[in-house]
Amino acid sequence: MKYIVLASAVLGTLLLYLLSNASASTAASGEYYTLLVALNITLAVLLITLIAVQLFNLYRNIRERVMGSRFTLRLLGSFALMAFIPGLIVYVVSVNFLTRSIESWFNVKVESALEGGLNLGRTALDIMLADVKEKGESMATSLAFQPADTHFSMLNDLREKSGIQDVTLLTPQGRILAVSSSDSTSFLPELPSVTQLRQARLRIYGNIEPIAGKGLFLRVLAPISVQAIAGETRILQLLQPVPKSLATTAEAVQDVYQEYQQLSYSRTALREVFALTLTLVMMLAMLTAVAIAFVLSRRLSAPLTVLAEGTKAIASGDYSTMLPAHGKDELGVLVQSFNSMTQQLGDATKAADRNRARVEAARGYLETILAHLSSGVLALNERGELRTFNEATVNILGVSLEGYVGFTPDKIIAKQAQLANFFEAIAINSQQDASVKNGQKDDAQTQIELATAQGKQIITLRGTRLPDGGYVAVFDDATAMVQAQRDAAWGEVARRLAHEIKNPLTPIQLSAERMAHKLVSKLDVADAEMLKRSTATIVNQVDALKKMVNEFSEYARSPAPHLDKLDLNALIREVVSLYDLPKIKIELSLATQACTIRGDGTMLRQVLHNLLQNAQDALATALSPVIVVKTALVDHLMVLTVQDNGTGFSADMMSHIFEPYMTTKPHGTGLGLAIVKKIIEEHKGSIKIENASPVSLATTSDANETGAIVTISIPLLS
């Protein structure tokens, strides 16, 4: 490309030199001059073709978003303007100078008068056009700050105030929205062209143009940015007729001037020769300048294009791209700096990736550990807001905390009141943090109780401050462990109590019977009778103590169950048949399917007797005593429900319902439900006790009778 441009410039310079000499010494019709003109025109056509090809390639690169093509276009435009503007100025001045010099023998006053008249008419028209433009701007401003639906009503008022003949409101596509005209003979206004509408979208447009059959008109197009409709632009057209006298005079002056010019041109052939020569000079100079601008713009934009490509590669994450060197100038230094920066970024990215991989591995390791911990782990940030927790936290607390991340404890308590004690303990521990002894932290453990639907839940809590000011709490559900400790303690108490009481019972009974046997024959009738009664009382009380001791022994050391295939429905019918109570109604609602489990019939019979006896004792004051026994199959479980409409259990009693020696009856040891729970757990089942609502039994007649519901779940035989 640059060699073609260089050759064209040299050839063009030579041809122009020869042409200038021929213009000075030869007539326009000379063969030599004509040949040089043809050669210059041919060279100009070649340059135009070359520039057109380059412009097409540049346009294609811009369409394909080739990096650097737009920058090349800007450089080309800058260089072209730098060449065009001075060339045009010189050309205009030269042509004007030649024209005045050659035509100096013509009547200058006539031509000046004609030009003055023409300029005067143009000046008058320009003043009128400027006035219409000002009115158009004012009307457009007024409409822009009004709602769109008021434009139609305001249009006529604005036209009358401004004194304009025709005012039309158009869309950017030329569709008429509203028309206001003082000309009653006009049906539709003269619409602007597409080009005029396109120009009017950006700025106000004004022109003087003739309208067929109506004369000369001033047309002004003003854009309106409608505030109420975001992004919509409307075009306001103003048409004002030029006074007929002024239009006629201006046209007459222009016609006369054109005729005078044509006459002058026809008389001067020499002027045409010089004008043609200057035109060719200007054309070749401009075309050569544009061609050189192409070469310079490509040369200057090449390093920047390479930099842009490298930047694009870095943006996509490719730090291995190294740019080729471009000399030792500032652009070359910039390319070298870019390569250095790319290498440093690549090294930093690799280091960041390694660190990120280590962090992700550590995070995954920690998350895996937390997910499989049986202990609950809960973390708060430095503002006391819930930050994270593990799955064990949800299992222990029985509350899904997923929706409370970012909440402070007081907001969580407002929605989950049962967690008040838990978060209060965390707040106390976080304030105290840990006592410092000998420079080491002594992690304190707190035991708290939570009220749940199944009773009290005991949680052991410990925690510590985090380096960022947050707090992490670790806690476990110690309910089962505490219950096991209590059961073990009660079992040991029962074993020792049974051992200590059972030993003296037999001697007491034997002594009382021996005393009665020896003395009854030696006493009179009254004393003998009293002795028999006293002896019988001692023996009966000893039997009662033996029975109680046997219950203690049974709780402390229950035999291992013998699990066999067992139909629980049949066992329930057998046990219930023994309870033929005249005042208490027992209702059976057994599952139609076979409730077959693996169980110990003797132990489960004891469970049924205990539950029925407890229900019977609870119905002592009921008006219409009812006991409902139901079985059902739910999710591979046999569910047994024993429900009565007695007095139920108090709230204090519910939290200790399965503890030994806890009873509401005036007699008994309070071991019944504890033994029942132990037997059910040995059958790998669960038991739950709750108070029923007053409407749970349809047969109850006292609204104050709630009763109790005992629910037992045992796995079915698979």
The model's pLDDT over 488-541, given as tens digits with 9 standing for 90+, comes to 666 666 666 665 666 677 778 778 888 877 887 777 888 888 888 888 888 877
CA–CA distance, 266 with 573 (Å, rounded to integer):
137
Please tell me the pTM assigned to this model.
0.35
Nearest CA-CA partner of 303 in 283, 265, 330: 330
- Using CA atoms, how far residue 79 sits from 68, 93, 300, in Å, is 16, 22, 12
Asked if 337 and 325 touch (Cβ cutoff 8 Å), the reply is no
In a domain, 638, yes or no: yes
- CATH number of the domain that residue 473 is part of: 3.30.450.20
Count of the separate structural domains present in the chain: 5
Q: 547 and 570: one domain?
A: no
- CATH number of the domain that residue 575 is part of: 3.30.565.10
The answer to whether residue 385 scores a pLDDT higher than 70 is yes
pLDDT in tens, 536-558: 888 877 777 777 666 666 655 55
The answer to whether residue 101 scores a pLDDT higher than 80 is no
| pLDDT band at 76; cut points 50, 70, 90 | confident
CA–CA distance, 380 with 655 (Å, rounded to integer):
31
Q: 153 and 220: one domain?
A: yes
Output the six-digit token pair for 114: 């004609």
In a domain, 26, yes or no: yes
Boundary of a domain, candidates 530, 556, 582: 556
Asked if 222 and 137 touch (Cβ cutoff 8 Å), the reply is yes
In a domain, 333, yes or no: no
Q: 704 and 569: one domain?
A: yes
Asked if 669 and 551 touch (Cβ cutoff 8 Å), the reply is yes
Q: Which residue has the higher pLDDT, 52 or 263?
A: 52
Output the six-digit token pair for 131: 């006035």
Mean pLDDT of 202-223: 83
H-state helical runs in 520-562: 525-556
Boundary of a domain, candidates 524, 556, 588: 556
Range of the domain at 302: 2-105+269-307
- Which residues are registered as beta bridge partners of 629? 588, 642
Q: List phi, psi (to 5°) of 191.
A: -85, 150
Q: 99 and 164: one domain?
A: no
| pLDDT band at 436; cut points 50, 70, 90 | very low
Mean pLDDT of 127-153: 82
